Amino acid sequence: MKKYLPSEIEAKWQKKWVEDSLYRVDFSSAKPKKYILVEFAYPSGDLHMGHWFTFVAGDIYARFCRMLGCEVFLPNGFDAFGLPAENAAITRHIHPKDWTYDNIRRMKQQFETMGVSIDWDKTAVTADAGYYRWNQWIFLKMYEKGIAYRGKAMANWCPKDATVLADENIEDGKCWRCGTEVVKKEVEQWFLKLTAYADRLIWSDPSQADWPKPLRAAQNDWIGKSEGMEIEFRVKSKQSLRSNDLQESRVKVYTVFPETIFGVTYMVLAPEHKLISEIITKEQKSQVDDYIKASQKKSELERKIEEREKTGVFTGAYCINPVNGKKVPIWIADYVISSYGTGAVMGVPGSDHRDFDFAKKYDLEAIRVIGKTPDDQSPVESASDVLEFGWIVNSPQFNGLKTPNPAREKIKDWLTEKGFGQRKTQYHLHDWSISRQRYWGTPIPMIHCDKCGIVPVPEKDLPVELPYEVDYTPQGKPPLATAEEWVNVKCPKCSGPAKRDTETMDGFVDNSWYFYRYLDEYNEKEIFDKKIVKDWLPLEIYIGGAEHTVGHTLYSRFFTKFFHDLGLIDFDEYAKKRVHHGVILGPDGSRMSKSRGNVVNPDEEVKSYGADAIRLYLMFLGPFDIVAPWNPDGVNGAYHFLQRVWGLQDKVTQSVIPAEAGIHINIDSGSKAGMTNVDLRLMHKTIKKVTEDIEQLKFNTAIAALMEWLNHLSRKEKVAREEYKTFLSLLAPFAPHITEELWSLLVTRNSTQNETSSNEQRETSNEQRWSIHQQSWPVFDNKYLEEGEILIPVQINGKVRNILKLKSDILSNRSVVEKMAIEDEKIKKFLEGKSVKKIVYIPNKIISFVVGNN
RNA sequence: GCCGCGGUGGUGGAAUGGUAUACACGUUGGACUUAAAAUCCAAUGGCCUUACGGUCGUGUGGGUUCGACUCCCACUCGCGGCACCA
């Protein structure tokens, strides 16, 4: 027997698999179709353990499905646009495109070393013009439908660079590039109207249980639907700046607690609220201005301060509570968010903790409108007096009603009827701002014409290609604006001089729909072939990171719903099942990072142990979504297991009966040569366990079952061929190289020794199926699982006192079993001098005595 | 604060309400070896016991049950996400 040398066999088989196109998918196959998707990678240049963890799992599942007789599509591509490419370009003077495509080449090679059965013939690289032209096409469609629109939003703005900054590009409230203090500024950007899909994006419970519950909960929270009311208050502002006359305006508040309307003692506006300039009084002006200025800065500088104390300033103006005509002061405070609801809030210190804190600080009145009992009249003096639920009090015709209901609905009806307000549904979800002042992204296919305004690029002119020559380090304008030849175009409408939009799209646009394009990468006529997509989507399973819970996976769902509305597809969710992978930490237990120096490089581990050992180790570590440190000893353990598997080949019986000489695994061929009942039972038990576990992605226990079986096989003198073949087949998805090698050794040996004419034909018909990965998955038979003797524990008052070995044919006979238990020597001892009050016998499981003294 | 997930040996973890700790790592002892590595065999939750065996034991306290890691209630600690959303 040769030594197990992973470095030799792994490269050999990887090459052979590619040569034989073993994993190429046939889209028109009649077999059951399974599209297995693993999140594609950003081409950072190096494959890390995270990629291994995820792709190995996808690969195991894919190989398993193939052996079950399915046509499997396991593609991969690259999420190739993004900031790191631009940063590398700036620091290392390599063009982002060259940097990216070099990395892709290198990472493709690294992927090969994993032994993953990816079909590389069908891929998608988002930085290819052939890909991103469809980003542009989708954008134009969205524009046409009013889903993409130009709007204004507050953004982080660097006044020196004249650019919008992402949150992560702000350090200490200052621009990461030039150190200028960042301000909030209202900037025009392109938006996708995510909110138009808010309701459809909400997970309505039991239907989609194959998406993780935490994800569904988080997405629903993120969407944050609430059903409340908008209530209008009249504003009295005698001494407003604009006029000395009595001025009247109106301000709307949004609340989900309309039942507390009689407890309003003040009103608060967000510092950005438009009405402020209108209602502010002369006396208060300077104070208010100072406050607004301070709060603009504060949102950046003091974001991380844990307990933000509430602050505010009085405007000098008052408004009238419509339900009781009460005059209440209008304040400004930054605890009110301008972008949510109406940017104005009614202050109810008696029933809201935040309002109470604010009222306490500024000495505003707190009225009890919700009581502990229907006649509670206790004052609201401390935080513990604030009640959100209870009974309505001090609210004339509603007193005594229970909250939230029926009080809330009754008051809503009444407010609506009186015309004081109307029902309103609010979402926390915002529309998606996709404009980026960056170079390495999809150009937005819009043209700005002085005469015609914003004009979409005609579909026939797509793609709007990214120009290669630009200055991607400009200050004060987006990089694309420096490519003048590219920027200056004719207006498609009036043919006059016009300029291209110089911003690019958020990378999350690119990856919201890549799995559609995998199916039809080279299609230049349409975004994808509807027939192929109909046949292959939704995804069987989508494996990826939990960090994409409210980003990527939500956006993809949005795109899918949009595609549905365009009539491109007839499904509404793109994946039947979503699974989150685990995270491998450094050996020190903290996140792997270059700066910590705790990065485990997969390439080096492959050199020492081989890909199979790493695959096995990663999957054996624990449940698939585990977060655990890399343990060098653990890899060694996996390697050890493979060596024992390798050593098993010498125990395999050489004599083969003719009927079994083919390489098909057929458990029922009557070839149990050399196998005892115990052997058979364990084999079938293991097939069952491994099959069921892989189906549920419980790889760790599947591997444990194989280990148990190996322990059994290792103790035997000889291992039957049937056992060995079955073992290799079950292990094949996990460790594809070593099993392929051992399989080939077995088949070679077999064919030289046992060639018969009847088998020859079988061999020929299997010529295209030389690989273990093309074999059929072993099938278990329940008849082998039955055991002749079963262990039945005997409990006395809940404690196991003995374990009886009983013949299975008596197990259904209650009285016989009970008698055997009572007569058992050990049990007798425990029952002595006690009275048996009850005997519980659960057939095939346990027998339980309840005894008392005397 | 809110939402979600979790707490089991020295470690990673396993257990449809039915023998808690499968499997692996580590450790200890043994075999092989001049020696080491590798490999193989055995032991391995705590406490008491020479042993047979007993007893305690799945974060804490209670409950349901013949029987609870598993179900229910309360608490506690840890992790993840959201976080002044009215």
What is the ipTM metric for this complex?
0.94
Q: What is the pLDDT of residue A665?
A: 39
Q: What is the pLDDT of residue A761?
A: 42
- Asked if residue A803 keeps its beta carbon closer than 7 A to nucleic acid strand B, the reply is yes
Q: What is the pLDDT of residue A806?
A: 82
Q: Do the Cβ atoms of A537 and A519 come closer than 8 Å?
A: yes
- Asked if residue A691 keeps its beta carbon closer than 7 A to nucleic acid strand B, the reply is no
- Asked if residue A130 keeps its beta carbon closer than 7 A to nucleic acid strand B, the reply is no
Coil, helix or strand at residue A190: strand
How far in angstroms lies nucleotide B66's C1' from the CA of residue A693? 33
Neighbours of A736 (CB within 10 A): 27
Per-residue pLDDT tens digits for A642-658: 999 999 988 887 644 43
Vertex A178: Cα angle to A177 and A181 (nearest 5)? 110
Cα gap A120→A76, rounded to integer Å: 7
Cα gap A610→A617, rounded to integer Å: 11
Q: What is the pLDDT of residue A300?
A: 52
Coil, helix or strand at residue A730: helix
Q: Taking the alpha carbons of A166, A172, A178, A182 in that order, is the dihedral positive or negative?
A: positive
Query: How does DSSP assign A284-345, residue by residue?
Result: THHHHHHHHHHHHHHHHHTTT-SSPPP-EEEEEEEEE-TTT--EEEEEEETTS-TTSTTSEE
Which residue lies nearest B38, CA-to-C1' measured?
A640
Q: What is the pLDDT of residue A208?
A: 67
| In A502-631, alpha helices (H) | 507-510, 514-517, 530-536, 552-566, 602-609, 611-620
- Residues A346-358 have a mean pLDDT of 92
**Range with lowest mean pLDDT among A137-146, A264-273, A752-761:** A752-761
- Asked if residue A550 keeps its beta carbon closer than 7 A to nucleic acid strand B, the reply is yes
For strand B, list residues 203-262 of chain A whose Cβ lies within 7 Å of it: 213-214, 217-218, 221-222, 224, 226, 228, 254-257
- Asked if residue A120 keeps its beta carbon closer than 7 A to nucleic acid strand B, the reply is no
Per-residue pLDDT tens digits for A702-724: 999 999 999 999 988 888 888 99
Vertex A463: Cα angle to A462 and A468 (nearest 5)? 145
> What single DSSP character describes residue A442?
P
Element housing A135 (H / E): helix A129-144
Q: Based on C-alpha coordinates, what's the Rg of chain A? A: 35
Cα gap A99→A89, rounded to integer Å: 8
Write the CB contacts of A76 (distance below 8 Å, at least 6 apart in sequence).
A38, A40, A41, A55, A111, A116, A118, A120, A123
Residue with the bigger pLDDT between A775 and A301: it is A775
Q: Find the nucleotide nearest A550 (Cα to C1′).
A: B81
- Asked if residue A4 keeps its beta carbon closer than 7 A to nucleic acid strand B, the reply is no
Q: Taking the alpha carbons of A523, A529, A532, A538 in that order, is the dihedral positive or negative?
A: positive
- Asked if residue A100 keeps its beta carbon closer than 7 A to nucleic acid strand B, the reply is no
Cα gap A509→A15, rounded to integer Å: 35
Beta strand pairing call for A432-433 and A183-192: antiparallel
Residue with the bigger pLDDT between A828 and A262: it is A262
Closest CA to A558 of A142, A239, A129: A142
How far in angstroms lies nucleotide B1's C1' from the CA of residue A277? 34
Query: Residue A583: CA atoms inside 13 Å, Cβ hemisphere, count?
Result: 11
- Look at residue A670 and tell me whether its pLDDT is greater than 50: no
- Asked if residue A86 keeps its beta carbon closer than 7 A to nucleic acid strand B, the reply is no
Token pair in block for residue A503: 């911003």
Closest CA to A89 of A442, A469, A445, A463: A469
Predicted TM-score (pTM) of the model is: 0.91
- Residues A576-604 have a mean pLDDT of 89
Q: Do the Cβ atoms of A435 and A192 come closer than 8 Å?
A: no
Q: What is the pLDDT of residue A630?
A: 92
Nucleotides of B under 7 A from a protein CB: 3-5, 11-16, 18-20, 22-26, 38-41, 54-55, 66-68, 79-86
How far in angstroms lies nucleotide B11's C1' from the CA of residue A544? 27
Contacts 24+ apart (CB under 8 A), A487-492: A489/A447, A491/A447, A491/A449, A491/A451, A491/A452, A491/A455, A492/A447, A492/A455, A492/A456, A492/A457, A492/A458, A492/A461
Per-residue pLDDT tens digits for A93-105: 899 999 999 999 9
How far in angstroms lies nucleotide B1's C1' from the CA of residue A143? 40
- Look at residue A444 and tell me whether its pLDDT is greater than 90: yes
Q: What is the pLDDT of residue A659?
A: 39
- Look at residue A498 and tell me whether its pLDDT is greater than 90: yes
Cα gap A734→A727, rounded to integer Å: 12
Q: Find the nucleotide nearest A638 (Cα to C1′).
A: B24
Which residue lies nearest B41, CA-to-C1' measured?
A715
Cα gap A300→A171, rounded to integer Å: 10
Q: What is the pLDDT of residue A229?
A: 94
Q: Do the Cβ atoms of A763 and A788 come closer than 8 Å?
A: no
Write the CB contacts of A67 (distance below 8 Å, at least 6 apart in sequence).
A729, A732, A733, A773, A774, A775, A776, A777
- Look at residue A797 and tell me whether its pLDDT is greater than 70: yes
Q: Do the Cβ atoms of A448 and A501 come closer than 8 Å?
A: yes
| In A659-735, alpha helices (H) | 677-695, 699-715, 721-731
| In A567-664, alpha helices (H) | 602-609, 611-620, 632-647
Q: What percent of chain A has a predicted confidence (pLDDT) above 90?
A: 58
Establish whether the linkage from the previous residue to A538 is cis, with ω within 30° of 0.
yes
Chain mean position to CA A631: 26
Element housing A98 (H / E): helix A96-113
For strand B, list residues 268-297 of chain A whose Cβ lies within 7 Å of it: 270
Beta strand pairing call for A583-585 and A627-629: parallel
Cα gap A623→A580, rounded to integer Å: 11
Write the CB contacts of A69 (distance below 8 Å, at least 6 apart in sequence).
A31, A32, A776, A777
Token pair in block for residue A224: 């944050």
- Asked if residue A640 keeps its beta carbon closer than 7 A to nucleic acid strand B, the reply is yes
Q: What is the pLDDT of residue A450?
A: 93
Residue with the bigger pLDDT between A492 and A750: it is A492
Per-residue pLDDT tens digits for A360-419: 999 999 999 999 888 888 999 888 888 888 899 999 989 999 888 889 999 999 999 999
Residue with the bigger pLDDT between A452 and A88: it is A452
- Look at residue A243 and tell me whether its pLDDT is greater than 70: no
Residue with the bigger pLDDT between A442 and A478: it is A442
How far in angstroms lies nucleotide B80's C1' from the CA of residue A583? 12
Q: Is A34 exposed, middle or buried (0-12, 13-18, 19+ CB in 10 A)?
A: buried
Cα gap A159→A476, rounded to integer Å: 8
- Asked if residue A27 keeps its beta carbon closer than 7 A to nucleic acid strand B, the reply is no
Establish whether the linkage from the previous residue to A733 is cis, with ω within 30° of 0.
no
Element housing A67 (H / E): helix A49-67
Q: Do the Cβ atoms of A840 and A850 come closer than 8 Å?
A: yes
Q: What is the pLDDT of residue A655?
A: 47
- Asked if residue A21 keeps its beta carbon closer than 7 A to nucleic acid strand B, the reply is no
- Asked if residue A11 keeps its beta carbon closer than 7 A to nucleic acid strand B, the reply is no
**Range with lowest mean pLDDT among A453-462, A493-502, A651-660:** A651-660
Q: Find the nucleotide nearest A339 (Cα to C1′).
A: B85
Neighbouring-strand partners of residue A278: none
Q: What percent of chain A has a predicted confidence (pLDDT) above 70?
A: 91
Reported confidence tier of residue A666, pLDDT bands at 50, 70, 90 = very low
Vertex A586: Cα angle to A580 and A588 (nearest 5)? 130
Neighbours of A283 (CB within 10 A): 11
- Look at residue A668 and tell me whether its pLDDT is greater than 90: no
- Look at residue A171 and tell me whether its pLDDT is greater than 80: no
Closest CA to A81 of A16, A113, A125, A32: A125
Q: Find the nucleotide nearest A621 (Cα to C1′).
A: B12
- Give the length of chain A: 854
Q: What is the pLDDT of residue A760?
A: 41
- Asked if residue A800 keeps its beta carbon closer than 7 A to nucleic acid strand B, the reply is yes
- Look at residue A594 and tell me whether its pLDDT is greater than 50: yes
Q: Do the Cβ atoms of A399 and A417 come closer than 8 Å?
A: no
- Residues A115-119 have a mean pLDDT of 95
Q: Find the nucleotide nearest A335 (Cα to C1′).
A: B84
Write the CB contacts of A770 (distance below 8 Å, at least 6 apart in sequence).
A744, A747
- Look at residue A251 and tell me whether its pLDDT is greater than 50: yes
How far in angstroms lies nucleotide B8's C1' from the CA of residue A621? 17
For strand B, list residues 488-527 of chain A whose Cβ lies within 7 Å of it: none
Token pair in block for residue A464: 């709007």
Q: Taking the alpha carbons of A179, A181, A184, A185 in that order, is the dihedral positive or negative?
A: negative
Per-residue pLDDT tens digits for A17-47: 999 999 999 999 999 999 999 999 999 988 9
- Asked if residue A798 keeps its beta carbon closer than 7 A to nucleic acid strand B, the reply is yes
Coil, helix or strand at residue A509: helix
Q: What is the pLDDT of residue A799?
A: 83
Supply the mean pLDDT for chain A.
87
Cα gap A419→A788, rounded to integer Å: 80
